[in-house]
A and B are shown apart, each in its own frame.
Chain A
Amino acid sequence: DQQVKQNSPSLSVQEGRISILNCDYTNSMFDYFLWYKKYPAEGPTFLISISSIKDKNEDGRFTVFLNKSAKHLSLHIVPSQPGDSAVYFCAASYTGNQFYFGTGTSLTVIP
């Protein structure tokens, strides 16, 4: 049973606009959430994370928002750039030992 879900398989955004990627989870025990970026034929690279004690974490153009009551997190990229085109995975953890990944959202930033 998928505990972390990304319901949008793909997203297209104009360069300079905001990209919003969404993720939902079912396990209320999760206390740490991460976003990864993956280019074709490469391994995922860590992008940004958030602890469950926070509702927002920002790193440059990337901001992650966490809504615990809705069991929902989102990644905002502002402004979007063509180099941001990749597959984005959200992940969650509650033991520090195992990570549960979503199915990914393919972002295309159109120049």
Chain B
Amino acid sequence: AQSVAQPEDQVNVAEGNPLTVKCTYSVSGNPYLFWYVQYPNRGLQFLLKYITGDNLVKGSYGFEAEFNKSQTSFHLKKPSALVSDSALYFCAVRDIGSSYKLIFGSGTRLLVRP
């Protein structure tokens, strides 16, 4: 069965420093991986996805993610964090059944301090 894991409940980083939010996956077949961000009492906003091709994927708001097949990881990164990046981040993988539903991790709360 497809699954993703986000090992950190919370990540703290100072504004201006690089940030990394970790995600590992377990899939049968090719992985289709996604990152979403959620602000309080809001829906999920799409950041980026990996389907195939380059291992470094660039997305919205300066975020990027590195796909590593040997480590089965898809970590989200940003070179310089902003206070406004503080939010809840979800990694997800598409199911391979008939529905192609998203299977989400438990989420990681990112806190960027001024």
Q: Does B associate with A?
A: no
